[in-house]
Chain A
Amino acid sequence: MRRMAAIIGCGAVQVGKYPDRLESELALDAVRMALLDAGIEKGQAEGIFTTPDLRGGIGLQANLLCEYLRITPKSMAEMTCGAVAAGLTVKTAVNEIMLGQIDVAVCYGAERECSIEWFKHFGSALFEPVALQPYASYGIIWAYAMSARRYMHETGAKEEHFAMAAVRNRRNARHSPVAAFKAPIAIEDVLESRNLCSPIKLLDSSASLDGAAAVVVASAEFARRVCPKPVYIMGWGQYHDNSCIIPTDRCDKSISSFVATREAAAAAFRVAGINPEDVDVAEVYAPFSPHELIIPEDIGWFEKGEMVKAIETGETEIGGKIPVNTDGGLLSRGHPWAVTPFYQTINVVRQLRGEAGENQVPDARIGLVHCEGGMMNNVFVLILGSE
């Protein structure tokens, strides 16, 4: 797969609240920006792949976009698979390109005020809600809190260490073109913020906000023709741990380290032909600050428990061993959950093009995007590289 396709254009609206705008209008903004950035005509987009319109629900939003923009794709789909869906749109685009079906695709997502409603109803699944008591609390903050507590128990991490990750993200968000939260915060602010599900507090959490983002994916041959700085797809890996949120089946799956991240990352490194230490910059999908410590360990940059020290010594800062979430992460960028992996991908592309400004990681050539669905149950890891 190495370097057979590339990302040649990106567009995103700032994450925030858009009460007066339609979801599809936000999508149009992102798609137009991405086409402009790629420097291609709309008619050259032969593939259109998008994440779900969670309110419409029947998968016709891409049709609407096509009529609105007068484009006639040869391949299109709306994909739903938790928050890995955005990653899967890129995967599908690359697969179609490698099969010779298309040369160029636009992958996009838009989200407005969806998450909160959706989480209220989460839990009516195939299983009886016997083991996970959704009637005990809305949403899944409590599940991530259980994971955080277990990680503290096994590694000696304190709430201060989680707070350090939130502070790092906020510092990075300051120079992000898309982040919603830029006001500086200190460790004490995080520790004193409102308790949600101990040990997770308000400033340890990502806010559900509106957003829209798009990337243009093209065959390597097309990319070299039109794009001065193509960012190549080097590989990906995906893995599902056969659980949904907290593993309830038997008692043998960890929630302080996640097998799906470990396996997906290992597969992605194998396909890309690189080692974890070859990665220069990374985006990890951590909806809560404790997972800013857990995920880099699972990807392989640190041994289990080493992130406790590493977050203190700045190993994941810009200039550190592996800069993570250099434009604020989910916590400070804001988290339109289905669209977030597009924002992650775009930040890595900006880094690899050398366009990240104040937050630029020097000589960044290889980047990694981690996204997940459930509580790290279904993980997709994408590896990108510049020339």
Chain B
Amino acid sequence: MSKVDFAWPASRHTPSGREFWAGLKKRKLLANKCQLCGEMFFPPRLCCPACLGDRLEWFELSGKGTLYSWTEVFFAGPEFKTPFLLGLVDLAEGVGRIASRIAGAEAGELKIGMPVRFTFVDAGEDFTIYCVTPDTG
């Protein structure tokens, strides 16, 4: 079996996330905004977690964030190449926290609180995924 960096998410076709995945293909990191009460939220949902309204729109996040925590994964599913780095990132807009592969850095270079930015990886046919990398700019 050849090993991969990313495998298909099991439930990628759920309605609340379809637009998000489409956004990644266009190099955009998308979140929801409620048209009724203005709440901005992430991850995507079919209704607003503040007012439960279902008139939502999408907006593009800045793609910047802060490293909240991280781990080096040595033990994963059999199809994955190991080890790899995973980060937990606070989105700059404050709307959510996201777990992501970390690219372009070694474990020893990672510091909690460091700025990171999102990048995009075409990981398979019709499958684009996000990564984060230390934001030196």
Rounded to whole Å, the gap between the CB of B93 and the closest CB of chain A is 9
Collect the chain B residues with CB atoms within 8 Å of residue A195's CB.
Answer: 72, 74-75, 83
Known: A128-B12, A138-B77. A150 touches B112 (CB 8 A): yes
Q: Confirm or deny: A120 has a beta carbon within 8 angstroms of a beta carbon on chain B.
A: yes
- Chain B residues closer than 8 Å to A121, beta-carbon distance: 10
Q: Is the CB of A131 within 8 A of B43?
A: yes
Q: Interface code B65-108, partner A: CB below 8 Å = 1, 0 otherwise?
A: 00011111111110010011010101100111111110000010
**Could you tell me the distance between the alpha carbons of A120 and B107 in the complex, rounded to whole angstroms?**
26
Specify the main secondary structure of chain A where it touches its partner. loop
Does A135 sit within 8 A of B, measured CB to CB?
yes
Q: Mark each residue of chain A from 86 to 117: 1 if its CB lies under 8 Å from any CB of chain B, else 0.
A: 00000000000000000000000000000000
Residues from chain A with a CB closer than 8 A to the CB of B91 are: 251
Interface check B41, CB cutoff 8 A: yes
A194 adjacent to B77 (CB under 8 Å): no
B136 within 8 A of A: no
* Cβ-based interface call for A248 (8 A): yes
CA of A138 to CA of B86 in the docked complex: distance in angstroms?
A: 13
Could you tell me if B96 and A142 are in contact, using CB atoms closer than 8 angstroms? no
Report yes or no: A137 in contact with B97, Cβ–Cβ below 8 A.
no
Q: Are B74 and A196 in contact (CB under 8 A)?
A: yes
Whether a CB of chain B sits under 8 angstroms from the CB of A146 is yes
Known: A120-B77, A128-B9, A128-B17. A136 touches B72 (CB 8 A): no
Cβ contacts under 8 Å, A250 to chain B: 41, 94-97
B52 CB within 8 Å of chain A? no
A198 adjacent to B72 (CB under 8 Å): yes
**With an 8 A cutoff between CB atoms, is A249 at the interface?**
yes
Please tell me if A134 contacts chain B, counting CB pairs below 8 Å: yes
B16 within 8 A of A: yes
Asked if B20 CB lies within 8 Å of chain A CBs, one says yes
Question: A149 CA to B10 CA in the complex, in Å?
Answer: 28
A149-B70, A247-B97 given; A127·B43 CB < 8 A: yes
B11 within 8 A of A: yes
For residue A226, CB closer than 8 A to chain B, the reply is: no
A66 CB within 8 Å of chain B = no
A137 to chain B: which residues have CB within 8 Å? 73, 75-77, 80, 86
Which A residues lie within 8 Å of B9 (CB)? 123, 128-129, 133-135
Please name all residues of chain B whose beta carbon is closer than 8 Å to the beta carbon of A149 when the two chains form the complex. Answer: 69-71, 112
Write the residues of chain B forming the contact surface with A, with a CB cutoff of 8 angstroms. Answer: 6-12, 14, 16-17, 20-21, 41-45, 49, 68-77, 80, 83-84, 86, 88, 90-91, 94-101, 107, 112, 129
